[in-house]
């Protein structure tokens, strides 16, 4: 029986056993809550059918090029985000730790949304929210009070949140292939089938056609508005899981000799395909809701928490076979969210393992238990929704986008890394990157994302986000975005474990032959 050649480093860190497993894991990371509850509304608000044009332009000029940049860093340098940056150039390690800090923040609040979705999957069977989904969600379920921070824990949130963290720890302790890879091989096909069934069902509802007309009727005048193009670049960046260490980490687990640009195209277009599918399903359902309520689709269209936990429960209560629709929708949220959450926390675990002499089990517990405690304390209370909303807004806008722009500028101009990264991408591929890719990374993508960042910054200064108290925005907003930067560059001062080489590993490619799949030996021992 053949097996994949492994090196001592790969034995220690773990590796995906095939390109197929890596692609499914990368799709699992990219396809998350944002695809289902953010894209449809962003498209609707920014020109409807006409939004597809700037969306595709953003995908091709920023999304996929930056995805390949992440792949090149991880696959060439064979390390977590901090180690990959350090091996590229010693002075850039702090950028990797900045990304690690962002991932820790995201994991803390992302798990809470999963806990809500788990509960609502069960609620769907009995339509527990009754006749007023909004009052139930904010009142009986989350028990939301006035803006502030309380220590009043909500049992209905704390227990499922603890279960989410327990399930997460189990998957991560199992390792790269037996945990992350095996989960992706099972969950991603289930997610695609479940969501396809949901879309088909939504299309059979009365009013579905009006919902689709509302979403896809093009407003060509919108293409002349800079804000529409900014929305397209922002959406692509948020939805592809790029710029904050995930794809660097996953690419480091891929064997030498793997076609990385080809894999990037598959992941990028799969993610966008799922977003379009989500848009069709969501707006078909909203069309039904509008017709049943006797209002325009524009009056019921929403995004984020409002769409998932208020609009959809209302739809479920009205629709035939509502429990079936509810289980499909919230079950899809759970699967999409869980695969993304695994990838987010893996960035932190991989960095800790590379920096210190720790086993996978030890690093998983050292990272996940503190994250779970912080998550339970701040998100399991009556003020959890406020904390989540603020941290999510600021970390996405002034964390992910900012570190992405800084990374591109530093790699392109300060350390001039793009030629060596392009060379790494061009090894074993039929999709060669050249001057066009370097131009997109060095000029087009940073300018586009910097424009989005500056717009968001000025808007936030002009009108404080969400009408929250200034002290909450200072602590959980600007404070959260700032502390990950400080953490990043302080963590870079900590010395690497003895024996860690900061030279690029000169590893031989795998033996030529057909793609080897899961028949290869396990990636690592669980210790």
Cβ contact 300:294 at 8 Å: no
The pLDDT of residue 506: 65
The pLDDT of residue 11: 60
155-166 per-residue burial string, b: 16 or more CB within 10 A, e: under 16: ebbbebbbebbe
- Residue 10 pLDDT level (bands cut at 50, 70, 90): low
Q: Mean per-residue pLDDT for 275-301?
A: 88
Q: Does the pLDDT value for residue 522 go beyond 80? A: no
- What is the 8-class DSSP label of residue 153? B
Q: Mean per-residue pLDDT for 282-291?
A: 90
The tens digit of pLDDT for each residue in 350-396 reads: 999 999 988 999 999 999 999 999 999 999 999 999 999 999 989 98
In this structure, the number of other CB atoms found within 10 A of the CB of residue 386 comes to 23
The tens digit of pLDDT for each residue in 387-435 reads: 999 999 899 888 998 999 999 999 999 999 999 999 999 988 878 888 9
The pLDDT of residue 432: 87
Q: Mean per-residue pLDDT for 46-68?
A: 91
Q: Is 487 helix (H, G, I), strand (E, B) or coil?
A: helix
The tens digit of pLDDT for each residue in 299-344 reads: 887 778 888 899 889 999 988 888 899 999 999 999 999 999 999 9
Q: Does the pLDDT value for residue 274 go beyond 50? A: yes
Provide the mean pLDDT of the chain. Answer: 88
- Residue with the larger pLDDT of the pair 3 and 93: 93
CA distance 49 to 351: 41
Residue in the block written with tokens 């904010």 = 138
Q: Mean per-residue pLDDT for 220-233?
A: 88
CA distance 228 to 518: 44
Considering the entire predicted model, what is its pTM? 0.90
The pLDDT of residue 9: 58
In this structure, the number of other CB atoms found within 10 A of the CB of residue 65 comes to 23
The pLDDT of residue 1: 33
Which residues 6+ apart lie within 8 Å of 86 measured at CB? 79, 92, 93, 96, 492, 496, 502
- Residue with the larger pLDDT of the pair 307 and 517: 307
């Amino acid at each position: 029986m053949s097996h994949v050649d492994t090196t001592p480093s790969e034995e220690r860190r773990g590796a995906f056993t095939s390109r197929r497993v890596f692609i499914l894991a990368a799709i699992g990371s990219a396809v998350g809550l944002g695809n289902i509850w953010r894209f449809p509304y962003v498209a609707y608000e920014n020109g409807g059918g006409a939004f597809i044009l700037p969306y595709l332009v953003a995908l091709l000029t920023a999304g996929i090029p930056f995805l390949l940049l992440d792949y090149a860093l991880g696959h060439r340098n064979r390390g977590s985000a901090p180690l990959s940056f350090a091996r590229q150039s010693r002075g850039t390690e702090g950028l990797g730790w900045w990304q690690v800090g962002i991932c820790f923040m995201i994991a803390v609040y992302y798990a809470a949304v999963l806990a809500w979705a788990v509960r609502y999957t069960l609620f769907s069977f009995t339509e527990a929210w009754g006749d007023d989904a909004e009052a139930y969600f904010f009142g009986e379920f989350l028990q939301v009070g006035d803006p502030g921070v309380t220590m009043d824990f909500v049992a209905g949130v704390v227990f499922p949140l603890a279960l989410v963290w327990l399930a997460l720890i189990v998957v991560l302790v199992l390792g790269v292939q037996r945990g992350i890879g095996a989960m992706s091989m099972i969950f991603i096909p289930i997610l695609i089938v479940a969501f396809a069934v949901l879309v088909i069902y939504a299309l059979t509802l009365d009013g579905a056609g009006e919902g689709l007309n509302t979403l896809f009727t093009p407003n060509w005048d919108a293409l002349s508005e800079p804000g529409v193009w900014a929305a397209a670049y922002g959406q692509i960046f948020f939805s592809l899981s790029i710029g904050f260490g995930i794809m660097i980490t996953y690419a480091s687990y891929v064997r030498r000799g793997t076609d990385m640009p080809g894999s990037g195209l598959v992941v990028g277009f799969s993610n966008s395909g799922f977003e379009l599918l989500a848009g069709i399903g969501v707006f078909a359902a909203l069309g039904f809701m509008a017709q049943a309520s006797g209002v325009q689709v524009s009056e019921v269209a929403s995004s984020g928490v409002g769409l998932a936990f208020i609009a959809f429960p209302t739809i479920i209560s009205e629709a035939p076979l509502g429990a079936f629709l509810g289980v499909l929708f919230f079950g899809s949220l759970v699967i999409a969210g869980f695969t993304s959450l695994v990838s987010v926390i893996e960035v932190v675990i991989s960095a800790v393992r590379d920096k210190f002499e720790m086993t996978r089990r030890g690093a998983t517990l050292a990272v996940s238990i503190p994250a779970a405690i912080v998550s339970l304390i701040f998100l399991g209370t009556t003020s959890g929704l406020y904390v989540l909303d603020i941290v999510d807004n600021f970390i996405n806008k002034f964390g992910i986008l900012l570190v992405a722009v800084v990374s591109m500028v530093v790699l392109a101009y300060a350390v001039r890394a793009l030629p060596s990264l392009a060379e790494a991408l061009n090894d074993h591929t039929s999709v060669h990157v050249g001057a066009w890719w370097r131009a997109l990374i060095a000029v087009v993508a940073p300018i586009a994302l910097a424009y989005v960042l500056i717009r968001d910054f000025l808007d936030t200064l002009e009108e404080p986000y969400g009408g929250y108290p200034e002290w909450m925005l200072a602590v959980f907003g600007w404070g959260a975005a700032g502390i990950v930067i400080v953490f990043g560059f302080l963590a870079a001062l900590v010395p690497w474990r003895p024996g860690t080489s900061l030279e690029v590993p000169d590893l031989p490619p795998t033996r030529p032959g057909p793609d080897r799949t899961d028949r290869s030996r396990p990636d690592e021992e669980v210790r």
